[in-house]
A and B are shown apart, each in its own frame.
Chain A
Amino acid sequence: MTPAVLAEREWLRFTPAERLARFTVYFTIIAAIVVSVRTVEVIPEFIADAPEQIADLLRRMWPPDLAYYPQEIHDALIDSIHIATLGTVLGIAMALPFGFLAARNVTPFPWLNWAARLVLISTRSINTLVFALFFVAVFGPGPLAGTLAIAFHSIGFLGRLFSEALEVAATGPVEALRAAGAPWPSLIVYGYWPQVEPAFWALVLFRWDINVRESIVLGLVGAGGIGMVLDTAMNLFQWERVAMVLLAILAVVIVAEVVVTYIRKKII
């Protein structure tokens, strides 16, 4: 080939199939947005009115009712944190077995893998609030329902990521143990566990952080914690109190994030 021919060759970054796939994705996204904009039931007057209404709401919220914090908010907030922590611990206890069962290299029975995965997928897909509605109906309103809701929803998240961590664990240490005739509990404790321990703690911290946020909402359906205080204040249109609750939530969530970041740096 002469240099002239080489210079005229057209260089493309993607194959035609790749370009077609990309175009399809772009087209679908645009089409989805257009269809949504045209069919979603939004009243145009509400949009025009929104900035004014939001400004009005903020004016009503100011100044936050600081005196309300020691009266009601503090105890409810602590309750929410209790719910998040207990829920996470209970969630870990339930997620670990399913995590081990779902990992193909730890449990060599495909039907057990699939059964465990079904549990993980379904608990992950059912929102904490739905679990909360269920447990409030079963155990009555209160923090017990909230704790169970948090725990059940955490199973899917923790179990799935834990089983993924197990599946990428190195086989060397496990085979060495097996060759030495170690029984299966030893395989897990000395073969797999040391390899996945850092990932496990990172997951737990991450989930606790999420659960603190989730525990705050649970009160809206009667499952205990700060959400109940927020709901009451809102139904009574006590906007200064609502503002104080929101500020308290903001503070707790930020503190939780700082704590998680600090512990993560310490242990990983």
Chain B
Amino acid sequence: MAGVSLAVRPANWPLRLAWAGFALYLAYAFSHLDFTPARFITGLEFGQKFVAKLFPPDFHRWELLVKGLKESLEMAILASALGLLASLPLSLLGARNLMPAWITWPARLVMVVCRSFHPVIVAIVFVKAVGFGALAGILALTVASVGFLGKLFTEAIEEISLKQVEAVRATGAPFMSVVVFGVLPQVFARFIGFASYELDANLRNSTMVGIVGAGGIGGTLFAAFQRFDYDFVCAIILSIIAMIVVGEVLTNTVKRVFRV
């Protein structure tokens, strides 16, 4: 179709420049990787041997495996429960439509700090503070839960209709009654959805914090990796995937029950 131009939109030079700049940045960042074809090819050979050693997975030490998975699961459940307990009052304090600015600011700051650090980083700090084991993991995952649940809860509370809150307030109800009868009924279903999402996330992370000694299957995984026990590594990874998939199915069922 000669003569028909596809260029309907006018050229957007600032955007093109931005893309060119981004491409330059990528090239620069790539040069920092020490990527050489020789290294890549030897790496691929290693990778082949590695993958060959992964199979068949070795489930002989299933007792160790079950113990680790159970501990991860317990850590995820307790951390979610504690995180939920802590983030409920915190999100009420952080909601701009219920509280004055001098209260919302500190509450929001706590959430931002909790959210900024990866659970594994928080876990290292807690391992140094309270020693190895599940406790450090539970505390680390709780911090992460407070960050995310706090943020999501606050946003949900800020979107409620204030009419019901005013109605409850007009009856002369104290603050707690305003929260229980005016605010919570409006956000309850969404809270359930967020909490089950967080349980999923905690389950994923609870299998990892063990890498730094904070309990759960991650410690077993890391130890097996360092002993080049790759068929056991494969068994562990497969079980982790199975647990996460089952967890996801269960939380989806909960969401359906509560019609989130």
| Residues of chain A whose beta carbon lies under 8 Å from any beta carbon of chain B | 18, 21-22, 25, 32-33, 35-37, 39-43, 46-47, 49-50, 53-54, 56-57, 79, 82, 85-86, 89, 121-122, 125-127, 129-130, 133-134, 137-140, 142-144, 147, 213-214, 216-217, 220-221, 227, 230, 234, 246, 249-250, 253-254
Total number of residue pairs linking A and B with CB closer than 8 Å: 145
* Docked CA distance A36–B138 (Å): 11
Instruction: Contacts A21-B257, A39-B70, A144-B35 known; list 6 others, CB within 8 Å.
Output: A57-B125, A126-B241, A214-B118, A230-B124, A253-B117, A254-B112
| Residues of chain B whose beta carbon lies under 8 Å from any beta carbon of chain A | 25-26, 29-30, 32-35, 39-40, 43-44, 46-47, 50, 70-71, 73-75, 77-78, 81, 112-113, 116-118, 120-121, 124-125, 128-131, 133-135, 138-139, 204, 207-208, 211-212, 215, 221-222, 225, 237, 240-241, 244-245, 254, 257-258
Q: Provide 8 A-B residue pairs closer than 8 Å at the C-beta atoms, listed in order of the A residue.
A: A54-B129, A86-B33, A126-B237, A127-B207, A139-B46, A216-B121, A234-B128, A254-B116
B129 & A217 in contact (Cβ 8 Å cutoff): no
A234 & B124 in contact (Cβ 8 Å cutoff): yes
> What are the residues of chain B within 8 A of A139 when measuring CB–CB?
39-40, 43, 46
B74 & A36 in contact (Cβ 8 Å cutoff): yes
Contact of B77 among A36, A49, A79, A249 (CB under 8 A): A36
Q: Which of A133, A139, A254 has the most CB of B within 10 A?
A: A139
A86 & B30 in contact (Cβ 8 Å cutoff): yes
> What are the residues of chain B within 8 A of A126 when measuring CB–CB?
237, 240-241
Tell me if B's interface is mostly helix, strand, loop or mixed: helix
> What are the residues of chain B within 8 A of A125 when measuring CB–CB?
204, 240-241, 244-245
With A25-B254, A25-B257, A125-B241 known to touch, is A144 a contact of B34 (CB < 8 Å)?
Answer: yes
> What are the residues of chain A within 8 A of B46 when measuring CB–CB?
137-139
> What are the residues of chain A within 8 A of B120 when measuring CB–CB?
129, 217, 220
* Docked CA distance A36–B235 (Å): 24
* Docked CA distance A121–B240 (Å): 13
> What are the residues of chain B within 8 A of A220 when measuring CB–CB?
120, 124, 211-212
B118 & A49 in contact (Cβ 8 Å cutoff): no
A122 & B241 in contact (Cβ 8 Å cutoff): yes
**Closest Cβ–Cβ distance, residue B219 to chain A (whole Å):** 12
* Docked CA distance A126–B239 (Å): 11
B134 & A121 in contact (Cβ 8 Å cutoff): no
* Docked CA distance A160–B239 (Å): 22
B130 & A46 in contact (Cβ 8 Å cutoff): yes
A40 & B118 in contact (Cβ 8 Å cutoff): no
* Docked CA distance A74–B252 (Å): 43
* Docked CA distance A250–B207 (Å): 24
A50 & B135 in contact (Cβ 8 Å cutoff): yes
A230 & B257 in contact (Cβ 8 Å cutoff): no
A138 & B43 in contact (Cβ 8 Å cutoff): yes
> What are the residues of chain B within 8 A of A217 when measuring CB–CB?
118, 120-121
A86 & B26 in contact (Cβ 8 Å cutoff): yes
A42 & B125 in contact (Cβ 8 Å cutoff): no
With A37-B78, A53-B130, A249-B116 known to touch, is A137 a contact of B50 (CB < 8 Å)?
Answer: yes
Closest to B48 in A: A138
**Closest Cβ–Cβ distance, residue B14 to chain A (whole Å):** 11
A230 & B121 in contact (Cβ 8 Å cutoff): yes
